[in-house]
Amino acid sequence: MSLVSPADQQKLREVFAEMTRPVRLVFFTQTLECETCPQTKQILDELPPLSDKIAIEEVNLILDGDRARHYGIDRAPAVAIEYLNLQDAQGAQGAEGAQGAPSAQTAAGHPEHPVHPVHGVWTDSRMRFLGAPAGYEFISLVQAVLLAGGRPSTLSENSRRHIAAVDRPVVMNVFTTPT
Amino acid sequence: MAFVSPNITTYAVEATEFPDLARRFRVSGVPKTVVDEEVEILGALPEEVFVEQALAKFTSHN
Among chain B residues, the shortest Cα distance to A146 is held by B3
Q: What is the 3-state secondary structure (H, E, C) of A151-174?
A: CCCCCCHHHHHHHHCECCCEEEEE
Q: What pLDDT does A86 receive?
A: 85
Give the angle A47-A53-A59 at the CA atoms, nearest 5°: 65
Q: Smallest CA–CA separation between A7 and chain B, in Å? A: 26
B11·A178 Cβ contact <8 A: no
Q: Identify which of B4, B6, B62 has the shortest CB distance to residue A153.
A: B4
pLDDT in tens, A13-28: 999 999 999 999 999 9
Residue of chain B minimizing CA distance to A140: B12
Residue to substitute from A143, A160, A170, interface B, most B β-carbons within 10 A: A170
Interface of A with B (CB under 8 A): 35-36, 72, 75, 96-99, 125-133, 137, 140, 147-148, 153, 155-156, 158-160, 162-178
Say if the Cβ atoms of B17 and A173 lie within 8 Å. Answer: no
Any chain A CB within 8 A of the CB of B28?
A: no
Report the first-to-last Cα separation within chain B, whole angstroms.
Answer: 16
ipTM for the complex? 0.95
Give the number of A-B residue pairs with CB atoms closer than 8 Å: 161
Collapse the DSSP code of A104 into the 3-class scheme (helix H, G, I; strand E, B; otherwise coil) and give the result. helix
Write the pLDDT tens digit of every residue in A77-133.
999 999 999 876 555 444 444 444 444 444 444 555 555 556 789 999 999 999 999
Cα gap A137→A35, rounded to integer Å: 17
- Tens of pLDDT, residue by residue over A70-79, are 999 999 999 9
Question: What pLDDT is recorded for position A102?
Answer: 42
